[in-house]
Each structure stands twice: as structure tokens, then as C-alpha cells.
Amino acid sequence: MNFTPYWLDTAPAFRSAAAGDVEGHYDVAVIGAGLTGLSAAIRAARDGASVLVLEAGRVAGEASGRNGGQCNTGLAADYAGLVERFGTTAARRLHDAYTAAVTDVEHLVSDEAIDCDFRRCGKLKLAAKPAHFRSLAAAHTLMNDAFGAHTTLFDASGIRDEIGSDTFHGGLLMPDAAQLHVGRFGIGLAEAAARRGATIHEHTPLTGIDKNGTRHRLATPRGNASADQVIMATGASRHGPLGWYRRRIVPVGSFIVVTEVLGRETLDRLLKKRRNYVTSRLIGHYFRATTDDRLLFGGRARFSMSGGRADEKAGAILKHGIRTTFPELEAVGIDYCWGGLVDMTRDRLPRAGRHDGIHYAMGYSGHGVQMAVYMGGVLADRIAGRADRNPFRELAWPAIPGHFGTPWFLPAVGAWYRLKDRFQ
């Protein structure tokens, strides 16, 4: 098995990284060259700003290149709970932001001519139990009536026309979701930012930041620079002086395998419409076909951090999930296996705003492909003085009690979720 993410292994190299030392003064400094940071860098450069991007590793090498390649409409949070918490108008605003985020990705792909297999395919949420189907039916009514979502509900018989598996009791289709090759998308964003004048340093972690008058001073192992405005786009990063953010983000491991090439005939039986698929369990799965006719299959296989033996153990669990979902793939070979960190918030809603004079956006909770791109644009707009379209600007973001960055409580959370999955 290859433990490099499939997306990164099959993407071109980034050829426009800056050489030499970090130095000089910039209008905007972006910390993190994932989808949030690169989206912000492109927008700020388009506005005529001088832009510096500092990345601790490689471009799009962490969460932005380690996900399922799904670009979904619909929130991670419960819709009925959103309405109860915020009211229908505010909940509709949050829903609309997720829908607009997919369009943002589509426009960037088109405007910057990024070859990444972007395709509107729809997201199908699959009911793992009869009770889950009843919940999806209620969500279908609420989303269509209150949010104008145009979802389609399939019962147990209708779902057979969508997926070649006898495991599910129905499903809810959100038609506007998309999929893409996130590795090529991330590299394409980086090349576009560099083409527009951004200076991008890979393997250059931020080691210190302070303010001198109106300027922020940035320290790295390769030199120092300064900037008028700073965007923190680090997600669940473990590098740098990010203690305030780490107390509010829980890094949760998410793991993925990609099979050997299955062939078009097999995938025509199993994933007839080539959609994005997500199951309804708390510890569920997400999967899709790749354009070279493999099955990508992921989930929260283990409640642990990603890396080393954890990825390998998770791969064995996910292979069992493939066999359970698609019994004819009992003997399928696995070519890729990897993990990454999802930047989860307590309520699974993103946060974006300003802290100590620094702009930030993170906490996408498994919906980062589209929301990272969208929120990067929101931050660039805010810096440029345009109206704030941040849908999360009024959400408080208190620290998680007892959490200082290392998620010591994940095994207990996993045990609780498994118990709920068993009885709900």
C-alpha cells in the first residue's frame, strides 16, 4: 500500500515556490497554504495587494489534500437544531453559505483554468437504519420547505436505482454537490496565486508573531518579514504559536483508502450515478469513485490522531467497511491508505473573525473543501474593505474546557459515539 494520499500522489508538483529567505514587507501575510489560505491569497492579489504565504509543509499537503474530494452543499450540523438555535432566517443564511461555497469553487476552477475534474454530481446521504430513514424524511421536508434545497428522498426500493448495495434503507439526495481532484485543485490554486504575484514559501513554519505599531512581525526559520494584515488559515495545524486556536479546535483523525482499479463495469453496478455518498451513522463512511475507476472509501475509522500505525489499523477497518457495504469487493486490493486531521468545533460550525488583530477562518468540521475556499474569499473581501459576508461573524467561540490542543478525550468520545450508533 502507498501511504501517500492518492490526491497528492497523482497531482503535479508545485513549481512556483519562492526560493531564498523570507524577507520584506507585504500588505497581506497568509499563514497556511491550504484551500483557505490559497483562496485568500488569490483574491487579495487580484485586489492589487502584495501577498506573502507561509506554509509549514507542502502546498495543500494537510487537510486540503487528505480529504474525500467531496464538495458538498448542506451543513454538517442538524437542520432542525439550527432552526431551534438560530431561528429560520439565520439558519437559512448558514445553509445558503454552504451552497454558495460550492459555486465559489466552481468559479475559481473556471476563472483560473484549473484542471481538476470538477463535476456537479449530487450528494446522497444513505440511511443505515430504518429510524435514520425517518430522520432523513423529516430533513427532506424541512430543507425543501424552509431552505428551498430541492432535495429528493428515496425509499428502500428507490435507493437500489442509485447504489448497488443492500445495506441501506433509503437516502436523501442534495443535487448541487460536486466532486473534484483536490490535489490538482490545491496545486492549481497555488500556481494561480503565484501567477498573480503572491510569494509562497513551502516548508517554512511560522515560529513567532508580534505587532510593532501597525505592522505584524513574522518570524520563521528562513528569515523574518512583516505585513499590515495577517490571515491565519492553519486549520488543525500542530506547528507554530497557535495556542488560542488549538484550545477551540479538536483535531480528529479521518482515514481513507483507495482500491485498485475496479473497472467501469463494476462501478456502473455499484455507484451507478457516480455521486458523493455519506452514510447516516455517527461513525459512518463516505465514498465516491475516482476518475480512473477506483473506489475511494473513508471515515472516522479510529478515534485517534493520524500517522504511522494508526493509519494502517484504520485501513484494515475501512477495508472491512467496503466488504460490508459491497460484498462483491471481498477480495479487492487496496492501493492507497492515509489519514488526516479534521478541524472540528464543538457545534460543527466553522468560525471566522478577528483575534488580536489577526483574521482567521477554520473549524470546517469535515466540510472544508468548499467552505475553506468560500471563507478565504470572505477574509480577503474584509481586508479589502468590502461588506462583510461572513455568515459566522456573530457566533461566540469559547475555549473547550480542559482542552489545550492535545485531544486526550477522543477515545471516550469514540466509545460514546459507538454506543449511540448501536442503539439509535
Phi, psi of 340 (to 5 degrees): -160, 175
Q: How far apart are CA 85 and CA 144, in angstroms?
A: 19
DSSP assignment of 401-415: TT-SSS-TTHHHHHH
Q: Are 338 and 205 in contact (CB under 8 A)?
A: no
249 pLDDT higher than 60: yes
- Which burial class, exposed, middle or buried, applies to 201 when counting CB atoms under 10 A from its CB (0-12, 13-18, 19+)? buried
Which residues are registered as beta bridge partners of 67? none
Please indicate whether residue 231 or residue 252 has the higher confidence score (pLDDT). 231
Helix (H, G, I), strand (E, B), or coil: what is residue 292? coil
Please indicate whether residue 5 or residue 347 has the higher confidence score (pLDDT). 5
Going from the C-alpha of 364 to that of each of 119, 136, 247, 345, 389, the distances in angstroms are: 22, 22, 15, 8, 17
Q: Where are the beta strands (DSSP E) in 233-284?
A: 250-259, 276-279
In sequence order, the 6+-apart residues with CB closer than 8 A to the CB of 408 are none
Phi, psi of 420 (to 5 degrees): -65, -40
**pLDDT (0 to 100) of residue 220:** 98
DSSP assignment of 163-229: -S-SS-S-EEEETT-EE--HHHHHHHHHHHHHHTT-EEESS----EEEEETTEEEEEETTEEEEEEE
**pLDDT (0 to 100) of residue 412:** 66
What average pLDDT does the segment 65-72 reach? 96
**pLDDT (0 to 100) of residue 418:** 66
Phi, psi of 281 (to 5 degrees): -70, 155
Of 31-35, 290-294, 389-393, the poorest mean pLDDT is in 389-393
303 pLDDT higher than 60: no
Per-residue pLDDT reduced to its tens digit, 340-372: 888 989 888 999 999 999 999 999 988 899 999
**pLDDT (0 to 100) of residue 307:** 67
pLDDT bucket at 394, cuts 50 / 70 / 90: confident
pLDDT bucket at 305, cuts 50 / 70 / 90: low
pLDDT bucket at 186, cuts 50 / 70 / 90: very high
What residue segments make up the domains of the chain, in order of their start? Answer: 6-415
For 83, other C-beta atoms within 10 Å of its C-beta total 17
29 pLDDT higher than 90: yes
CATH class of 6-415: alpha beta
Per-residue pLDDT reduced to its tens digit, 81-133: 888 888 989 888 988 999 999 999 999 999 999 999 999 999 999 999 999 99
Best CA proximity match to 23, nearest among 48, 47, 50, 57 = 50
Cell numbers at 55, concatenated: 506554509
What average pLDDT does the segment 287-313 reach? 82
30 pLDDT higher than 90: yes
**pLDDT (0 to 100) of residue 172:** 96
Q: For the chain, what is the mean pLDDT?
A: 92
For 77, other C-beta atoms within 10 Å of its C-beta total 17
The DSSP element (H or E) to which 46 belongs, if any, is: helix 35-46
Confidence (pTM): 0.94
Number of residues assigned to the chain: 424
